[in-house]
Amino acid sequence: MRRLFRLPLRSPARIQSDADDELASFLDARSDDLVARGLSPAEARDEALRRLATGETLEATRARLRRSAKRREERVRVSDFIDEISHDVQFAVRQLVRTPGFTVVAVLSLALGIGATSAIFSVVYSVLLRPLPFAHAERLVSLRERNGRDDTQGMVVTAGNYGSWLALAHDFEALAAYGYGSATLTGAGEPQSLQLLRASAGYWKAMYLPPTAGRYFGADEDHPGAPAVIVISQHLWQSAFGSDPRIVGRDITLGGRPYTVIGVAPAEYALAGGLTDAWIPLALSASQLAEHSDHEYAVVGLVRQGVPQSRAIDDLTTVETSLAHEYPGGFFDGGIITQPLSDAVVGSARQLLLILLGAVLLVLLIACSNISSLLLARAGARETEIAVRGALGAGHGRIVRQLLAESLVLAMAGAVIGLAVAAAGLRFLVTMTPQGSVPRLDEASLNAPVLAFTIAIALGCGIVFGLYPALRAANPELQQLLREGSRGTGGGMGARLREALVIAEVAIALVLLVAAGLLVRSAMLVQRVDPGFDPANVLVAGISLPDARYQTDDARRGVLDRIASLVGAVPGVAQVAMVSRIPIGDGGFDCRLRAEGADERAFIIASVRSASPDFPKTMRVPLVAGRFFSPSDVAAGPPVAVLTRSLAHRLFGEADPVGRRVVDCTSGSTEAPLMRTVVGVIGDMHANGLQRDPTNEIYVPIAQVVLEHSMKLLVLGSVAVTSLVPAIRRAVAAVDPLLPLARVRTMDEIVARSLAVSRFTTLLLLSLGGMGLTLAVIGIYGVIAYFVAQRRREIGVRIALGATAGRVVRLVVREGVTLAVIGVAVGCAAALALSRAIGSLLYEGVSARDPLTIISVALLIALVAACASAIPAWRAARTNPTTALRT
Amino acid sequence: MALLKGTLDVLVLKTLSWAPMHAFEITKWLEDRSGGRLAVEDAALMQALHRLEERRILSAEWGITDKGRRARYYRLTGTGRAHLRAETKRLTEYADTLTTILAARSARG
């Protein structure tokens, strides 16, 4: 070994006296020399001092030398430290290279664990931890109106209440109110349907980001009668206007009306209210501001600088409470439900991400305990080497540091490969995640915070899995034992600990697999849920009718009828229908429905859809009683409605609902309620998603209520319906060339998409569970192989005494299965304890403590553990007793 | 004559290439070799030694002189030898170039 460096001087006093000694010794030597040349000792001394430093005192020279010596010692200490570290690292690398099998297994399992963790963390960082891009994002709160004490979600805000808030809630610097709409853009290429946001002027003040071009609209433009201005999104600017630099000031036609473009908003605004193509002023009219029961607008508030958020909310609650007294029956009780905007943006993705992060950390934990176990076994095999190093004078600390260096080198190698894994994993996550289900996901990248996180967890892992084995291996008492030549006991404590680690690994893997298994069960059950309609070979396309050209309901019905008849005439089209919203996915109009004569408060919240007569035939929704609409249900005829089966049951019980009347909830008037006669009942549909219960639905004929100015065209094909798309487009264009078909999709796609998030979560948890199981199996295999190696002599004796191969295999496999069974028991307890965490992700029919899932996973793990032990067992059974006994 | 800037280090290294020495021995050796023409300031020399040790060009340890006094002995490290070779080459080339140029001028003038 090459000579290490002299020990640097530690204390400042030592450094000073060292420098002083050197100076004194120099002066002595010079004096001696001068005396030898014939000067008297006193003269020699004076001359030596004179020549020491010209033009300064002895004290000054001494101080100078002390400083340079101090500097020298400091530098030497730092570079010694670096040298020692690099020496330890080189030594560790040599040791690791010497055992490539161990190193590859360890580095790869760490790389998987660290890589998966970093990939998920980069998503969590981007979605949950990173602040919103707006100035003062921390002061932004989403504000909703509470409707009853047990309401935790709240409702969007009525125009009238928003107006009162704006006038009376002074603790808010700005209030953003916005509502969604759509409109058709014409005159810029093909007519296209735009997502429109009607926003108050406060929208831009509350959520401010500098415009890409031009400016935003202000309060003077946010009132009825102001010039029609519009802000367009960066995306629309690029896609429809080719990034025209002169876009500001240009007039564009939206829904047949001209708007002047005043600005372009940057892409980040997609965070506040989803993908928006353009913004126009809310411009609430006096009659809208008098409306206090129609909850229509999302509101975001910017709390005034320096005002505590709680005070602002209390103040607003006071305003809201007096509004609730003034306007009873407006579906708000005076309470305000708030949420930081960042949380509101993330929404339900938060829980999903936290569960994934938890799962991936569990996988990392398994990887770490695996490596800890491998290191313990390795330390056992290196006991002699370590004892020799101790005997040669390496201190306890030094040995620990060298062993720790090995695990840190492993961890860093794992981190480097792990980053490659993370990059691949992240790309997989971003491409596989159903679009729009996790906000801000596309901004996730392996940025500086993620790199720091990766390095931190790698270091953490290195210390966690390396420290105990290192301390144990360097334990002087243990070395004493070794020197005394005791045999076979050396592994005792280590073996016990390794068994505990394997038990923990099995338990964690079980928790992961149970979670994945529960999701799989849910997915299987959801798959079997009958949506209530048959999505096969049905095409869906959006048609939005511009207000400017279709000003009356008659005009709207006319064009819808013409489209239906022309599309119906396309060869290959079996059925055509129109519906205001398709019966899957959230959204639509909710209304309070009650039977005629029932108590005013005995209402049921139901969603209203308007449909054309052929709706059940196109969607193949079964008719349960009565009839669906017919061409004779005209605007002037008696008002009719069709209910879904469970809604009819809720309203009328066992009685026949056909012929009964319900209070019409589509007309705003509450003084003289209009009655609708129920003419039929259709089957239930899972309109809020297959995972949820069927919803209450009431259908009204388009001929009587148009309900929305954008409709869905449904086409059932007698041939593959996707092949009919061009012909359908031509048919629509023949009716009105300025009407675009928006979002043409098949019903199958829509149903699949509604399940995509849960399917994706299932897939992800399943792969994490698989990873956990694989790592746990490696752990079991390692421990059992070690067990066999330790018992070689004993097994040899047994075989020599006539034990059959079967007996030996059973002995070894029993060891593995015992560990697995203990792990399974611990894991089951943990899974039951953690069941609440996953409950909300499960389909209603599956309990988070589903015994079938838990038992299957437990059996799977026991089986896999038996297989993992079988390989070393089989090898043990082939032990040659003579060689085993001789060594 | 005073030392040219930057030449003290290489002279010290050259001196130590013969044997480990303490600070005064180095001064003495340089004075003797130059026939007393080189004036090395004592404090500057000791500072240079500290600096060279800091850069791992020299290493030092306390020893006893032949007169029985304690002294800090300096020796060249591996790095120091390499440094000396490189510096010697650089300075020799520099001096040669300088000489050539100066000689050429004096011939013409």
Q: Indicate the number of domains in chain B.
A: 1
Q: What token pair was written down for A553?
A: 């309901």
Residue A721, Cβ neighbours under 10 Å: how many?
22
> For position A4, what pLDDT does the model report?
42
pLDDT tens digits, A743-801: 788 898 888 877 777 777 788 888 888 888 888 888 888 888 877 877 888 888 888 88
Q: Report the Cα A307 to chain-centroid distance in Å.
A: 32
> For position A1, what pLDDT does the model report?
30
Q: Are residues A219 and A365 in the same domain?
A: no
B26 belongs to a structural domain: yes
> In this structure, what is the dihedral angle of CA atoms A518, A523, A528, A533, given to the nearest 10 degrees?
140
Q: Chain B partners of A33 at a C-beta cutoff of 8 Å?
A: 24, 28
Q: Are residues A314 and A382 in the same domain?
A: no
Rounded-to-integer distance, Cα A505 and Cα A775, Å: 8
Residue A3, pLDDT > 50, answer no
Helix (H, G, I), strand (E, B) or coil at A283: coil
Per the structure, the complete domain to which residue A398 belongs is given by 99-134+352-490
Q: Which of A703, A737, A771 is the last residue of a domain?
A: A737
B55 belongs to a structural domain: yes
Is the Cβ of A729 closer than 8 Å to some Cβ of chain B? no
Point out the residue among B23, B47, B71 whose CB comes nearest to the CB of A68: B47
Q: What token pair was written down for A861?
A: 């793990």
pLDDT tens digits, A840-873: 777 777 788 888 889 999 999 989 888 888 888 8
Rounded-to-integer distance, Cα A180 and Cα A279, Å: 10
Q: How far is CA A521 from CA A514, A625, A769, A853, A859, in A?
A: 10, 35, 15, 8, 16
Point out the residue among A21, A29, A68 whose CB comes nearest to the CB of B50: A68
Q: Are residues A686 and A712 in the same domain?
A: yes
Q: Residue A632: is it exposed, middle or buried by C-beta count within 10 angstroms (0-12/13-18/19+)?
A: exposed
Q: Are residues A92 and A106 in the same domain?
A: no
What pairs with residue A155 in β-bridges? A145
Q: Are residues A602 and A639 in the same domain?
A: yes
Q: Are residues A383 and A415 in the same domain?
A: yes
- Determine which of A326-330, A648-652, B28-32 has the lowest per-residue pLDDT on average: A326-330
Residue B100, pLDDT > 60, answer yes
Distance from CA of A773 to the nearest CA of B (A): 53
What's the average model confidence in pLDDT over A240-247?
Answer: 87
Cα B78-B81-B85 angle, rounded to 5 deg: 145
Residue A216, pLDDT > 90, answer yes
Q: How far is CA A446 from CA A132, A393, A651, in A?
A: 18, 45, 55
A85 belongs to a structural domain: yes
Q: What percent of chain A has pLDDT over 90?
A: 24
Cα A617-A620-A622 angle, rounded to 5 deg: 100
Residue A677 phi/psi, 5-degree rounding, is -90, 130
Q: Report the Cα A578 to chain-centroid distance in Å.
A: 37
Per the structure, the complete domain to which residue B87 belongs is given by 8-108
Q: Which of A446, A464, A490 is the last residue of a domain?
A: A490
A856 belongs to a structural domain: no
Q: Indicate the number of domains in chain A.
A: 4
Q: What is the pTM of this model?
A: 0.69
Distance from CA of B102 to the nearest CA of A (A): 33
Helices (H) and strands (E) in chain A, counts: 26, 22
Rounded-to-integer distance, Cα A238 and Cα A241, Å: 6
A343 belongs to a structural domain: no
Q: Supply the DSSP symbol for A307.
A: S
Q: Residue A887: is it exposed, middle or buried by C-beta count within 10 angstroms (0-12/13-18/19+)?
A: exposed
CA atoms within 13 A on the CB side of A125: 19
Distance from CA of A472 to the nearest CA of B (A): 37
Residue A277, pLDDT > 80, answer yes
Helix (H, G, I), strand (E, B) or coil at A334: coil
Q: In sequence order, what DSSP letters do the residues of A207-268 get, joined into one string?
A: S----SEE----GGGSSTTS--EEEEEHHHHHHHHTT-TT-TT-EEEETTEEEEEEEEE-GG
B91 belongs to a structural domain: yes
Whether residue A208 contacts residue A195, with contact meaning beta carbons closer than 8 Å, is answered with: no
Nearest CA in chain A to B52: A72
B72–A21: do the CB atoms touch at under 8 Å? yes
B1 belongs to a structural domain: no
Point out the residue among B47, B59, B71 whose CB comes nearest to the CB of A29: B71
Residue A487, pLDDT > 60, answer no
CATH number (domain holding residue B31): 1.10.10.10
Closest-CA residue to A190 (of A730, A710, A740): A740
Residue A5, pLDDT > 50, answer no
Nearest CA in chain A to B77: A5
Rounded-to-integer distance, Cα A725 and Cα A814, Å: 64
Q: Are residues A151 and A206 in the same domain?
A: yes
pLDDT tens digits, A163-188: 999 999 889 999 999 988 777 788 77
Whether residue A473 contacts residue A386, with contact meaning beta carbons closer than 8 Å, is answered with: yes
Point out the residue among B41, B43, B72 whose CB comes nearest to the CB of A25: B72
Residue A485, pLDDT > 60, answer no
Residue A824, pLDDT > 80, answer yes
What's the average model confidence in pLDDT over A215-233?
Answer: 92
H-helix or E-strand spanning residue A878: none
Closest-CA residue to A157 (of A592, A166, A149): A166
Rounded-to-integer distance, Cα A863 and Cα A773, Å: 12
B61 belongs to a structural domain: yes
**What's the alpha-carbon Rg for chain B, to the nearest Å?**
16
Q: Which strands make up the sheet holding B58-64, listed edge to edge?
A: B21-22, B70-76, B58-64
A33–B28: do the CB atoms touch at under 8 Å? yes
Q: Residue A703: is it exposed, middle or buried by C-beta count within 10 angstroms (0-12/13-18/19+)?
A: buried
> For position A562, what pLDDT does the model report?
92
For the question of an ipTM over 0.85, the answer is yes
Helices (H) and strands (E) in chain B, counts: 4, 3
Q: Are residues A90 and A123 in the same domain?
A: no
Q: In sequence order, what DSSP letters do the residues of A744-794 get, joined into one string?
A: EEEHHHHHHHHHHHHHHHHHHHHHHHHHHHHHHHHHHHHHHHHHHHHTHHH
Query: What residue has token string 């009525």?
Result: A158
Nearest CA in chain A to B54: A72
pLDDT tens digits, A825-842: 999 999 888 887 777 777
Q: Are residues A113 and A159 in the same domain?
A: no
Whether residue A469 contacts residue A379, with contact meaning beta carbons closer than 8 Å, is answered with: yes
Q: Are residues A129 and A219 in the same domain?
A: no
Whether residue A116 contacts residue A425, with contact meaning beta carbons closer than 8 Å, is answered with: yes
> For position A137, what pLDDT does the model report?
84
Q: Supply the DSSP symbol for A670.
A: S
- Determine which of A53-57, A413-417, A788-792, A828-832 has the lowest per-residue pLDDT on average: A53-57
Q: Supply the DSSP symbol for A131.
A: P
A29–B50: do the CB atoms touch at under 8 Å? no
A847 belongs to a structural domain: no
Residue A500, pLDDT > 60, answer yes
Residue A48, Cβ neighbours under 10 Å: how many?
22
> For position A488, what pLDDT does the model report?
44
Do you know the residue count of chain B? 109
Q: Are residues A282 and A187 in the same domain?
A: yes
* b/e burial code for range A235-262 (CB count within 10 A of at least 16 → b): ebbeebbeeeeebbeeebbbbeeebebb
A763 belongs to a structural domain: no
For residues A793 and B3, which has the higher predicted lDDT (pLDDT)? Answer: A793
Angle between helix A805-833 and helix A747-790 axes, rounded to 10 deg: 130
B22 belongs to a structural domain: yes
Point out the residue among A6, A71, A79 whose CB comes nearest to the CB of B59: A6
Closest-CA residue to B61 (of B52, B70, B69): B70
Rounded-to-integer distance, Cα A738 and Cα A732, Å: 9
What pairs with residue A177 in β-bridges? A299
Rounded-to-integer distance, Cα A146 and Cα A140, Å: 19
A860 belongs to a structural domain: no
Q: Which of A737, A766, A782 is the last residue of a domain?
A: A737
Confidence grade of residue A273 (pLDDT, cut at 50, 70, 90): low
Distance from CA of B86 to the nearest CA of A (A): 23
Q: Supply the DSSP symbol for A270.
A: G
Rounded-to-integer distance, Cα A754 and Cα A688, Å: 9
pLDDT tens digits, A109-155: 889 889 988 988 888 888 777 778 888 888 999 999 988 777 778 88
Whether residue A205 contacts residue A173, with contact meaning beta carbons closer than 8 Å, is answered with: yes
> In this structure, what is the dihedral angle of CA atoms A856, A860, A863, A865, given to the nearest 10 degrees?
-130
A795 belongs to a structural domain: no
Q: Are residues A269 and A359 in the same domain?
A: no
Whether residue A852 contacts residue A810, with contact meaning beta carbons closer than 8 Å, is answered with: no
H-helix or E-strand spanning residue A605: strand A604-611
A26 belongs to a structural domain: yes
Q: Which residues contact A406 (CB under 8 A, 6 or more apart)?
A: A92, A95, A96, A375, A466
Among B22, B50, B66, the strongest candidate for a mutation testing the A interface, having the largest count of A CBs within 10 A, is B50
Residue A606, Cβ neighbours under 10 Å: how many?
23
B93 belongs to a structural domain: yes
Whether residue B47 contacts residue A65, with contact meaning beta carbons closer than 8 Å, is answered with: yes
Residue A885 phi/psi, 5-degree rounding, is -80, -30
pLDDT tens digits, A427-463: 888 887 776 666 677 778 888 889 999 999 888 888 8
Cα B86-B92-B96 angle, rounded to 5 deg: 150
Closest-CA residue to A364 (of A440, A284, A298, A461): A461
What's the average model confidence in pLDDT over B52-56?
Answer: 89
Whether residue A334 contacts residue A303, with contact meaning beta carbons closer than 8 Å, is answered with: no
Q: How far is CA A507 from CA A155, A721, A823, in A?
A: 43, 50, 5
Is the Cβ of A765 closer than 8 Å to some Cβ of chain B? no
- Name residue A775's amino acid: L
